[in-house]
Homo-oligomer: A and B are copies of this chain.
Amino acid sequence: MEQYPSKLIEDAVNAMSSLPGVGKRTALRLVLNLLKRDPFEVENFASAFTRMRNEIKFCTQCHNIADGDLCGVCSDTRRDTTIICVVENLRDVMAIENTMSFRGVYHLLGGIISPMDGIGPADLNIESLVRRISAGHVNEVILALSATMEGDTTNFYIFKKLGGLDVKVTTIARGVPVGDELEYTDEVTLGRSIANRIMYESNLAR
Interface positions of A (Cβ within 8 A of B): 2-9, 11-12, 14-16, 18-22, 26, 28-35, 37, 39, 42-56, 64-67, 71-73, 89-91, 93-94, 97-98
B48 and A20: CB pair below 8 A? Answer: no
A47 and B49: CB pair below 8 A? Answer: no
Bound together, the chains give a CA A33 to CA B54 distance in angstroms of: 14
Taking the closest CB of chain B, its distance from the CB of A123, in whole angstroms, is 12
Residues from chain B with Cβ under 8 Å of A33 in the complex? 19-20
B49 and A31: CB pair below 8 A? Answer: yes
Residues from chain B with Cβ under 8 Å of A16 in the complex? 48
Pick from B9, B20, B46, B97: contact of A46, CB below 8 A. Answer: B46
B56 and A50: CB pair below 8 A? Answer: no
A34 and B6: CB pair below 8 A? Answer: no
A67 and B8: CB pair below 8 A? Answer: yes
Bound together, the chains give a CA A18 to CA B67 distance in angstroms of: 23
A93 and B5: CB pair below 8 A? Answer: yes
B56 and A35: CB pair below 8 A? Answer: yes
Residues from chain B with Cβ under 8 Å of A51 in the complex? 8, 11-12
B65 and A52: CB pair below 8 A? Answer: no
Pick from B3, B4, B31, B44: contact of A15, CB below 8 A. Answer: B44
Residues from chain B with Cβ under 8 Å of A18 in the complex? 45
Bound together, the chains give a CA A50 to CA B41 distance in angstroms of: 9
Chain B residue with the shortest CB-CB distance to A3? B97
Taking the closest CB of chain B, its distance from the CB of A78, in whole angstroms, is 15
Pick from B12, B19, B94: contact of A3, CB below 8 A. Answer: B94
B50 and A5: CB pair below 8 A? Answer: no
A8 and B56: CB pair below 8 A? Answer: yes
